Amino acid sequence: MQLEIIILAAGRGVRMQSDLPKVLHPLAGKPLIWHVLKTAAALNPFKLHVVVGHSAEKVKTACADFSVNWVFQKEQLGTGHAVLQALSEVSPESRVLVLYGDVPLISVGTLRQLIHETGAGSAVLTADLDDPSGYGRVLRDSAGRFERIVEDKDATPSELEIREINTGVLIVSAAQLNAYLPTVTSDNGQGEYYLPDILSRLVEDNEQILTINALSDEVLGINDRFQLARAEAANRVNRARALMDQGVTLIDPTRVEIRGEVECGSDVVIDINVILSGKVVLENQVNVGANSCISNSTIGAGTVIHPMSIVDGATIESSCSIGPFARIRAGTRLSSEAKIGNFVETKNTTLGEASKASHLAYLGDAKIGSSSNIGAGTITCNYDGVEKHTTEIGDNAFVGSNSTLVAPVNISAEAFVSAGSTITKDVASKELAVGRSPQRNVTGWKRPQAKK
Ligand code: UD1
Ligand code: CA
């Protein structure tokens, strides 16, 4: 049977106390709904519907990466009402999986289990929680068969003791939704149309509801900022665990943030408070120092990133040394054994093999050959106020400290720029350029004296 997925994301999320709709609050750097969409897309549904209402346009914009059929729920009258809004666009032969936009950590594996281990039957995903408060509870008959869900707000004290909860995720046929959803009423404590009520209707008509039990970390529903922080922590540890399983050493798995897709070789070591975002590749034996942020970059084997460094949009080859306190910006390419030291900023710059800029420099729009030395305080003046220009530096060149290289300018291989120079003209190979005023020493000079 073909699968369609409906994601519910119309609520405002009052308990977040926020102007931002709840499903746009970030988890691991991406909106909650983004995680649900990514998981849903991995199941290759025939159609993916998302029910939006509160701040619908903002939600749509944030989900532009996905191909979605948007359904508008004008008033948020409950999860049952939300699904009803999408129903006319669901093919009557489909099986329908319902996901909640505020339950972001459910894994593809768990959903596959729910889809495949239940045949074509109706099923709900449940979990056993130590603290089930706030969730709907699963009621079973004396034989242990699923009977119905009771919402936290409607439950009796003894029902509140039940630790098996409704995750919100369920799978039923479109035919069943068509038949039962219109019969659900809002006759309950919250005056809402509850989606889980269709399950008890099915049971009343002698349909069996299967249950699949999920891991507690996966099913966290996010209704307030405390639950969001808990989900963030659970996700952090899961992602850390996955990296460690690939052979990465994390000095403290609770203090590494993975906000994207990370691929690691063997024996990579990551120190505390490191943030990895976007697509990051760390090859074998890369070492990332404390408090560093790496995004959308590839770091070659054996490279060491010393503490407090920022690397964004760069390709770093093997055995390089970066930082501490380096800022490597987009378009930087370092060939192997290159060194970028403290307080050096690079942007759209290539540094050839074994070249060095060890301290205090700005290298923007520069092409630097191999084995060259860029002295402390060197600035490539790449911007004339209107346009950007390139500085070229050949192999084995030496740029003395505190030099200002006014681009466009070309310093050829083996050229030597004396310290403190302002270079506005090209320097040919093996030439020495002195771009500073000659020193004048005044003999017999007297210090100014304070007046008596
Ligand atoms: C819901 C379930 C509860 C379950 C819990 C799991 C119901 C009635 N209750 O409770 O059994 O344990 O999730 O996390 O289903 N939404 C809409 N339109 C609406 C109402 C809600 O799109 O009219 C969306 C919300 O944006 C949210 C999701 O549905 O993404 C769940 O709604 P929420 O109000 O958070 O339900 P819970 O009280 O958490
Ligand atoms: Ca919720």
The CATH number that applies at residue 415 is: 2.160.10.10
What is the whole-number distance in angstroms between the Cα of residue 163 and the centre of ligand 1? 18
85, 51 Cβ separation under 8 angstroms:
yes
Residue where a domain terminates, one of 186, 219, 252:
219
Closest-CA residue, ligand 1 atom 36, reads 79
**122 and 215 within one domain:** yes
Inside any domain, residue 426:
yes
Give the long-range contacts of residues 295-302, CB within 8 A, separation 24 or more: 295/260, 296/260, 297/328, 300/336, 301/265
Same-domain check for residues 243 and 198: no
Same domain? For 157 and 287 the reply is: no
Residue 446, in any domain of the structure: no
Residues 198 and 258 in one domain: no
pTM of the model: 0.90
Pairing, β 366-368 against β 350-351: parallel
Compute, in angstroms, the gap from residue 231 CA to the centroid of ligand 2: 13
Look at phi and psi of residue 195 and say left if phi exceeds 0, alpha if psi is from -120 to 50, else beta: alpha
> Residue 54 domain-assigned?
yes
In a domain, 198, yes or no: yes
In a domain, 95, yes or no: yes
- Same structural domain for residues 201 and 282? no
> Is position 373 within any domain?
yes
C-alpha 100 – ligand 1 centre gap (Å): 7
Q: Is 434 in contact with 415 (CB distance < 8 Å)? A: no
Contact between 96 and 174 (Cβ < 8 Å): yes
Residues 35, 116, 359, 389: which is the catalytic one?
359
**What DSSP string describes 331-356?**
T-EE-TT-EEEEEEEEES-EE-TT-E
Please check whether residues 213 and 244 belong to one and the same domain: no
Residue 232 domain flag: no
Residue identifier of the C-alpha nearest atom 28 of ligand 1: 100
Predicted confidence pLDDT, tens digits, the chain (452 residues): 899 999 999 999 999 999 999 999 999 999 999 999 999 999 999 999 999 999 999 999 999 999 999 999 999 999 999 999 999 999 999 999 999 999 999 999 999 999 999 999 999 999 999 999 999 999 999 999 999 999 999 999 999 999 999 999 999 999 999 999 999 999 999 999 999 999 999 999 999 999 999 999 999 999 999 999 999 999 999 999 999 999 999 999 999 999 999 999 999 999 999 999 999 999 999 999 999 999 999 999 999 999 999 999 999 999 999 999 999 999 999 999 999 999 999 999 999 999 999 999 999 999 999 999 999 999 999 999 999 999 999 999 999 999 999 999 999 999 999 999 999 999 999 999 999 999 999 999 999 999 98
Atom 17 in ligand 1: residue holding the nearest Cα: 10
User: Would you say residue 78 lies in a domain?
Assistant: yes
Query: What is the span of the domain harbouring residue 146?
Result: 3-219
For residue 121, CA distances in Å to 76, 115, 340 come to: 29, 9, 60
Task: State yes or no: is 306 an active-site residue.
Answer: no
Burial of 342 per CB tally in 10 Å (0-12, 13-18, 19+): middle
Alpha carbons 116 and 40: distance in angstroms, whole number: 15
Considering every ligand atom shown, identify the ligand nearest to the alpha carbon of residue 13 and give its number. 1
Tokens of 308: 């407090």
Domain identity same for 260 and 168: no
185 with 282, same domain: the answer is no
Q: Are 140 and 266 part of one and the same domain?
A: no
What six digits make up the tokens of 397? 């060149």
Ligand 1 site residues (CB inside 6 A) read 8-11, 23, 51, 73, 76-79, 81-82, 100-103, 135-136, 149, 151, 165-168, 194-196, 221, 223
Residues 140 and 273 in one domain: no
Q: Are residues 102 and 130 in the same domain?
A: yes
Q: What is the CATH number of the domain that holds 28?
A: 3.90.550.10
Which tokens go with 25? 């609050």
User: For ligand 1, atom 35, which residue shows the shortest CA distance?
Assistant: 223
Both 28 and 106 in one domain: the answer is: yes
Domain count, the chain: 2
